[in-house]
Amino acid sequence: MSLRGDYNLAASDYSVEQDWNAYRGEEHALFRRLYDRQSKLVPRYACAEWIEAIAELDAGSGIPRFDLVSRKLKTKTGWEIVAVPGLIPDEAFFMHLANRRFPVTVWLRKPEEFDYIVEPDVFHDFFGHVPLLFDAVYADHMHEYGKGGLKAMRLDAVKMLARLYWYTIEFGLMKTPAGLRAYGAGLLSSGGELAHSVTDPAPKRLAFDLEKALRTEYRVDRYQSTYFVIDSFAQLLRETAPDFAPIYDRLRALPTLAP
Ligand code: PHE
Ligand code: CO
């Protein structure tokens, strides 16, 4: 697969300068349009932690300056944003997370990709992922995930761990007093799947099951047919805390599950 970012200027950890002044007016306007569409949906479909955090970000006026947001985030949970040219290799990705740095893609999708984009762009990364890093428990979970990623590389288990990421951090749902809500970044940044994931009768919604998530394959090119539902970020942190090494060993012997 060829990636569309510009990797020439990246440092060895794949970080780049955001160069905020280089964004064009049309790009800020497109970001605002994406932001406005999602803003109409999130009060009904996003989890409370995300809704609370986005308010602190005032990201509604255009592509945000990562350095300003990093400063707030650093004070709140010790996380920072690092600008990256796009998708980066596993090791660099895990290394950033393990050091409480979240990689955010610098480029924005094209207008014709308003509804759907394959690779993560600044809107997905920022709108979907960054707000939850303001939540202390979620922030700690993401840090543990990063360390777990480096470990999974040594154990040749990245594929399994990536499925967990997909079914939680990207497409996770949460049972809340207000009803089912989304916390997965792929849902929060999606114009169509956000409402679908919460209200459509068709998809399966399974109570979070660590081993099942590690075993279940996923599709990147359509709405998910299965979502895993957590009760809280505390549950996610708690249930992912055990040593995965023996779990990986056991699951390796079992077949994977269809999406
Ligand atoms: N506990 C996992 C391990 O030992 C690491 C991990 C933490 C993975 C949080 C995912 C989320 O490998
Ligand atoms: Co993402």
Å from CA of 126 to ligand 1 middle: 24
Condensed to tens digits (0 to 9), the pLDDT of residues 53-63 reads: 998 887 889 99
Contacts 24+ apart (CB under 8 A), 52-60: 52/134, 53/131, 53/132, 53/133, 53/134, 53/135, 54/127, 54/131, 56/134, 57/130, 57/131, 59/35, 59/126, 59/127, 60/32, 60/35, 60/36
- What is the pLDDT at residue 53? 94
> And the tokens for 251?
């699951």
Å from CA of 153 to ligand 1 middle: 12
Mean pLDDT of all residues belonging to the chain: 96
Condensed to tens digits (0 to 9), the pLDDT of residues 37-91 reads: 999 999 999 999 999 999 888 788 999 999 999 999 999 999 999 999 999 999 9
Does the pLDDT value for residue 2 go beyond 80? no
Q: Whose CA is nearest to atom 5 of ligand 1?
A: 148
Strands 173-176, 226-230: pairing is parallel
Give the predicted TM-score (pTM) of the model.
0.96
- What is the pLDDT at residue 1? 53
> And the tokens for 142?
């993401």
d(CA 6, CA 31): 20
d(CA 78, CA 61): 25
Share of the chain above pLDDT 70, in %: 99
Q: How confident is the model at residue 116 (pLDDT cuts 50, 70, 90)?
A: confident
> And the tokens for 221?
């090119």
Q: What is the mean pLDDT of residues 125-130?
A: 97
| Catalytic residue list | 124, 129, 170, 189
Atom of ligand 1 nearest to the CA of 152: 12
Question: Nearest CA to 63 among 116, 2, 21?
Answer: 21
- What is the pLDDT at residue 137? 98
Q: Would the CB of 91 count as within 6 Å of ligand 1?
A: no
> What is the distance in angstroms between the CA of the first residue and the CA of the last residue of the chain?
22
Residue from 97, 145, 170 to probe ligand 1 pocket by mutation (most atoms less than 8 Å from CB) = 145
